[in-house]
Structure 1
Amino acid sequence: MKYNIIIGIATVMLMNACGNGAPGYDASGNFEADEVMVSAQQNGQILDFSVQEGDRLTAGQTVGQIDVTIPTLQREQVQASINALKDKTHDPLPQTELVKRQLLVQEAQLQQQYRERKRTENLVKSDAATQKQLDDINALIDQLERQISVTRQQIKLNNANTSTQNRTILSEKAPLEKSLAQYAEQIRKGQIINPVNGVVLSRYALKGEMAATGKPLYKIANIDTLYLKAYITGDKLPGIKLGQTVTARIDQGEKNYKSYPGTITWISDKSEFTPKTIQTKNERANLVYAVKVRVKNDGYLKIGMYGEMLINNQNK
């Protein structure tokens, strides 16, 4: 009987010790990384895309190419117009014939775009094309109409006064050069350039698919440095500050831990739960605040892995 009483008392004491004992860490959470979603900057078919999940890429690396045939042809057309400006200012008679031939080409292009607009409008109605494609055609038509208007004006001015015509022709160079720069930028955006150093986490597109501006192509993150997003109780919040050195650790086996030096880079200014109007000291301990600890990754840390934080390198 006496033996059973002693066992009972010991059991109660053990349960109380377990129930009231503090955990061996100050905060816990999961590891995160700064993930970057890389999207297409141009419309067109993906001609080349070599990205694979798990690839380690460097910033500025070219990883793919989107078809830019249309802006390339448009750039060549504008460049030809700029080159023609120089020739048209020498002799007004040959210039007139040259401008007339250019007008015929522009009018033929305009008729082609009118037909293309009609076809695209039907595709939009059947959800086979996007409004963006239709808007691009309308913008091109507007540009061609302006070019035709300018070209016709050139012919009139050339017949009226050579010197006036030359000044008008030369004044067209600046807007044409702006158009040239615009098409060059569209061609540049056809290249898929990796923006940051890191490892590819997910791939969302394949070679041969159609890309659209803003469509995600792949997701990449620099996993050389991870962030432990942990949650600390309100009573321990006064003991930490930005830039403070702490210890982050992960499980290594059943009872052992692997520790890493870390730096607190962010502390939330709001608790995760709505506080009561009146709180006792024990109730304040139930409030948790999110913190981020920057940790250098030696390869063992993984995104989403559970981790713990110890203040002032406490080994608990």
Structure 2
Amino acid sequence: MTHTTSDESLNEPIDTTIDGLTEQKQSSSPRLSRQGWGLWLLGALLLAGGTWGILQLTRSAHSPETALAPAFAVETLTIRSQPIVNTLELSGSIRPIDQATLSTRVMGRITKLSLESGDRFRKGEVLAQIDVTDMTAQTNQAKSGVVQAQSVVMQHQAELSRSQAMLNQFQAQKIETQAALQLAAIDQRRMATLRADGAVSQEQLDRANTVLTQAKSKVAQINAGIGQAQAAISQSNAAIAQFRSAVKQAESGVTSADINESYGTIIAPFNGVVIQKLAYEGEMATPGMALLKVENPDKLQLEIAVPEEKLRFVRVGQSVKVRFDAVNQTLNTTIQQIVPAADPKSRSFLVKIPLNNSGRLISGMFGRITLPLGEKQQTILIPADVLMQRGQLQGVYVVEKSGSQPIAVLRWVKVGKVQNRQVEIVAGLMSGDRIITNKINQLSDGQAINPQP
């Protein structure tokens, strides 16, 4: 309501007061001081200010200027709640399947490390080289020890061969001497018999006895030679076994030295890319020192931490659509693994979903999946482009009426999920509300509008 006040009604009390004061001044001017005049002027000013303030407070909220502003033509949409399938949205991050932090197991100066972050490489390529000159010397020394041990084994094998040949020779001679011994014994017994009968002389018997004694002596010599040859063979076999063990030990030392020397060469374990360079050429590397962080960008997976109360909606082999907003891409894939152990802090289970990388996905990107729960609920959906963003708040312009004039009123809302450019409204709007769908950046709260159906 607009209140009006005539100038005459306002001026009458003021004029009356002034006239009264003037008459009083004229009748008693000799008694009125300057201080009295000052008080009189102050009261008049206060009265005038109070009158102006009352006029401002009683003015209508819709001033003549606002009422005279032209209505703004806008398009509107009457919202209705609709049944939609209740879904579960889970989000996670892309992680590489193949990843490694490459380090060295030896001490030495880094002589080669030319790759930088972002450089790609192939499996089997030399990525870094450590100076292992000392280990190379140890390897050469171990190889020399192997050669020496093998040489000693060969010498004893030659001695074994000679001893074996002597043994064979003595054994052959033993057969001959034993035959000669048997013949000499038979001849001696015959001569002894004949001598007893007086058929032969004593000289012939003595000769037979001498031949028998010589045969026995020769057999004893041959047996002694056989024993010596067998002892030499045993010694050679023992020496060969000993030095063969030394050869194996030396060869083991060579293998160990070769392995240690190979630790100075860092080989790419898979096709990949350098994520972080942790050392540089010329630096001194120590055992366990990290040199490069690498991963395979062509073999990625989405890792999602699923709360234990939501795990019943997820299963291995389940088909899902993975959405990546950063690259505006959606992939069809399946859940490959659910780690059968919960995180003790978050009480969540890690779900792994393999991804076929098209070259646009990068480790660390955010992705999400939406799983249907099989339940429907009444939900209000509005176009995403009708939302107004004011700091952390979101709102929409709603059509309301001030008297008979439609106006745009900014109403703050609480939003939920976003699907197919449709935003779920959790609070702030009701079914039947009429929202403005265009020119929202040109409107102001309380502005008169001309809504179009």
Taking structure 2 as the reference length, the TM-score comes to: 0.42
**Alpha-carbon distance in structure 2 between the residues aligned to 1:310 and 1:265:** 16
Pick which of 173-182 and 260-269 moved more. 260-269
Equivalent residue for 1:33? 96
Q: Which residue of 1 aligns with 2:360?
A: 300
Per the alignment, residue 254 of structure 2 pairs with: 180
Query: In structure 1, how many angstroms separate the alpha carbons of the residues matched to 2:300 and 2:237?
Result: 68
Q: 1:240 to 1:50 in 2, by over 3 A?
A: same
Gaps of 5+ in 1: 1-12, 93-160, 276-286
Identity across matched positions, percent: 27
CA distance in 1, matches of 2:238, 2:343: 73
SS in 2 for 1:26: strand
1:206 aligns with 2:280: yes
Per-residue Cα deviation, 1:73-120 (whole angstroms, up to 9, x for no partner): 11212222232335556779xxxxxxxxxxxxxxxxxxxxxxxxxxxx
Does 1:241 find its partner at 2:318?
no
Counterparts of 1:156-171 in structure 2, within 5 Å, are 168-171=242-245
Deviations 1:172-191 (A, max 9, x none): 21211111111111111211
8 Å contact 1:26–1:232 — kept in the other structure?
no
Q: Aligned letter for 2:264? A: G
What is the number of equivalent residue pairs in this alignment? 218
TM-aligned CA deviation for residue 310 of structure 1 = 2.6
* In structure 1, distance between residues paired with 2:300 and 2:313: 23
Aligned match for 2:137, one of 55, 73, 77: 73
**Within 2, Cα distance between the matches of 1:27 and 1:190?**
45
How far the C-alpha of 1:248 sits from its partner, in A, is: 0.4
Structure in which a larger fraction of residues adopt strand: 2
Q: CA deviation at 1:265?
A: 2.2
Shift of 1:164: 7.0
2:194 maps to none
Report if aligned partners of 2:326, 2:365 keep a CA contact under 8 Å in 1.
no
SS in 1 for 2:364: coil
| CA deviation after TM superposition for structure 1 residue 238, in Å | 3.0
Contiguous gaps of at least 5 residues in structure 2: 1-77, 157-234, 375-418, 421-453
CA distance in 1, matches of 2:338, 2:150: 64
1:47 alignment partner in structure 2: 111
Contact 1:79 / 1:180 at 8 angstroms: preserved in 2? Answer: yes
Letter in 1 for 2:371: I
Which amino acid in the other structure matches residue 92 of structure 2? G
Q: CA deviation at 1:165?
A: 6.1
Of 239, 244, 262, which residue of structure 1 is paired with 2:333? 262
Distance 2:87 2:364 in 1: 21
Letter in 2 for 1:207: E
Q: CA deviation at 1:305?
A: 1.6
Task: Give the partner amino acid of 2:128.
Answer: G
What's the TM-score, normalizing by structure 1?
0.58
The answer to whether the 8 Å contact 1:30/1:229 transfers is yes
The answer as to whether partners of 1:245 and 1:264 remain within 8 angstroms in 2 is yes
Alignment partners' CA distance in 2, 1:91 and 1:304: 67
| CA separation of 1:77 and 1:245: change in aligned 2, threshold 3 A | same
Which amino acid is 2:102 matched to?
V
Alpha carbons 1:31, 1:306 under 8 Å: kept: yes
- Tell me the distance in 1 between the aligned counterparts of 2:244 and 2:344: 69
SS at structure 2 position matched to 1:223: coil
Is the Cα contact below 8 Å between 1:25 and 1:308 reproduced in 2? no
Cα 1:243/1:41, change in 2 over 3 Å = farther
Distance in 2 separating the partners of 1:305 and 1:91: 70
The residue type paired with residue 214 of structure 1 is G
Q: Distance in 1 between matches of 2:332 and 2:106?
A: 43
Name the CA distance, whole Å, in 1 between partners of 2:262 and 2:140.
15
In the aligned structure 2, how far is the partner of 1:267 from the partner of 1:302? 22
Higher relative contact order (CA 8 A, sep 6+): 1
Number of the residue aligned with 2:147: 83
Q: Tell me the secondary structure at the aligned position of residue 291 of structure 1.
A: strand
Name the larger-Rg structure. Answer: 2
